[in-house]
Structure 1
Amino acid sequence: MSESANESGWISAAEFHRAPDVSAWRVMGTGPQAVFTATSIVHAASLVAPVVAAAERFGVLPDVDVRPEGVVVRIPDRTFEGIPAAAPGFAAAVSIAAAELGLIPTPELAKSIQLYVAQHSQTDTRPFFLAALGYDELGDTDAVDPVRCGPQLAFNPIAGDIQGRGRSHLDVYVPADEAQARVDAAIAAGGRLVDDSRAPDWWTLASPDNHGVDIAAWPDVDG
């Protein structure tokens, strides 16, 4: 762990990835995430107790999603300050437990989805979405499902745009080593590349009827 991490309590994605035994994990828009495939829901659920034990040991507050196909473990970003310095230890403990249980790490399935709500620079639409979706404020510009089941929302003004017209799009966060393949697949499925000037951080795509999607890998390589 770096001296800066010890002082601040937070680390970057690059510092997280340099830690031992975290190769199954990727850093998505909502924080570090690992997916382990299973043979049944009972098999997937067998990881819950080790996750809870690791959470208690390292002081991390994870989200655990158990499905018949596998289990997803997330270290949610609740503050925008970075990844908790204790996250690598927690992630390593979970990965070791998963291996002992015969759960298969499948990092290519990791992802998070954010709805990017574009709005006129003189309009604040966040209160409407908070009320309509039952979401909570996150930072100064975002909104989040209180139990983090629904997609996160980001609200960003577009200066000089036409008031009364929305220009929202989806941000799809994927592992950095999966991003180009996801872009290629979307284009092959009828999409078009709108802008790759910020690649490999993100690519802006459009569907055949011009709905916007950003394929974003930057959280997985940031810092």
Structure 2
Amino acid sequence: MNELLNRADASAGAPDWRLLGEELHLAVNAGDFVSAIDFVRAVADIAESQQHHPDIDIRYHRVFLAVKSHDVGGLTERDLRFATAVANEARARGHSMSPNSLTAVDVGIDCADPENIAPFWAAILGAKVTDDHEIVNPHGRAMRVWFQVTDSPSRDRGRTHLDVMVPHDRAEARIQAALDAGGRVVDDSAAPAFVVLADSDGNVACVCTWQGRDEHEAAERPD
């Protein structure tokens, strides 16, 4: 039950949800605020019965959910069971699910020594430093900050960039929208895991999906 799933199996096992980063995400349109609250109550009942609790964000008639198995740091069959139950509940209530509205964002900072500068970013963000020298808010209320080790700052781009995680089936449209808005592709050699784009001033962002991520991470690991 607690065995980690690979990204492909996690995505396939929750077709109504979208895998962004290490979490499954769902966006539900309940129609109005009261219906959204009623739906959240139903989700709470599912969570209590399964003893598996998601992050929930209510924005008027929309409910955004995210789930992962924090005890093992990834996705398991437990997450798929919860995701299926919640999607079935939404469908039974006649609520629509809209993956196009889902986005998650991380901040990446180029640096020579993450251990040296991580405490500064944790302090200014009111967050904590993980064992991997990433900055995470203990309450999940801010973007994750991670550090990309580099010998020297790049001269043709900023030292800070955004990782914009989008549903795998919306990545091409999101990239095209950025190009239509004046952007350009800097590097697509790691696609579909991520494509590096820049605006007309050279500011960089990566459009990321789960697809190809396992293979990319395996290739990046030292032998």
Query: What TM-score does the superposition give when structure 2 sets the normalisation length?
Result: 0.86
What is the CA–CA distance in structure 2 between the aligned matches of 1:198 and 1:101, rounded to whole Å?
Answer: 40
What is the CA–CA distance in structure 1 between the aligned matches of 2:15 and 2:114, rounded to whole Å?
Answer: 44
- Aligned residue number for residue 143 of structure 1: 135
Is 1:31 paired with 2:20? Answer: no
Contact 2:68 2:79 in 1 (8 A): no
Identity of aligned residues (%): 30
Q: Which amino acid in structure 1 is aligned with residue 62 of structure 2?
A: G
Contact 2:7 2:210 in 1 (8 A): no
- Aligned residue number for residue 193 of structure 2: 201
Structure 1 pair 120–222 and aligned structure 2 pair: CA distance change class (3 A): closer
Q: Which stretches in structure 2 are left out of the alignment for 5+ residues?
A: 216-223
Is 1:9 paired with 2:9? Answer: no
Alignment map for 1:47-126 (pairs within 5 Å): 47-76=39-68, 78=70, 81-121=73-113, 124-126=116-118
Q: CA deviation at 1:218?
A: 2.3
Structure 1 pair 211–161 and aligned structure 2 pair: CA distance change class (3 A): closer
Q: How many residues align?
A: 213
Q: Deviations over 1:49-99 (max 9, x none)?
A: 222122223332310001114000101464673213300010011001111
What is the CA–CA distance in structure 2 between the aligned matches of 1:44 and 1:90, rounded to whole Å?
Answer: 18
What is the CA–CA distance in structure 2 between the aligned matches of 1:143 and 1:196, rounded to whole Å?
Answer: 27
The CA RMSD measured in Å over matched residues stands at: 2.4
Choose from 180, 193, 203 the match for 1:188. 180
Contact 1:63 1:76 in 2 (8 A): no
Q: Secondary structure at the match of 1:47?
A: helix
- Aligned residue number for residue 221 of structure 2: none
- Aligned residue number for residue 122 of structure 2: 130
Contact 2:166 2:207 in 1 (8 A): yes
Is 1:169 paired with 2:161? Answer: yes
Q: Secondary structure at the match of 2:47?
A: helix
Structure 1 pair 138–75 and aligned structure 2 pair: CA distance change class (3 A): farther
Give runs of ≥4 in structure 1 deviating > 3 Å: 76-81, 219-223
Q: Which stretches in structure 1 are left out of the alignment for 5+ residues?
A: 1-5
What is the CA–CA distance in structure 2 between the aligned matches of 1:139 and 1:47, rounded to whole Å?
Answer: 37
What is the CA–CA distance in structure 2 between the aligned matches of 1:200 and 1:187, rounded to whole Å?
Answer: 17
What is the CA–CA distance in structure 1 between the aligned matches of 2:72 and 2:109, rounded to whole Å?
Answer: 18
Q: Secondary structure at the match of 2:139?
A: coil
- Aligned residue number for residue 170 of structure 2: 178
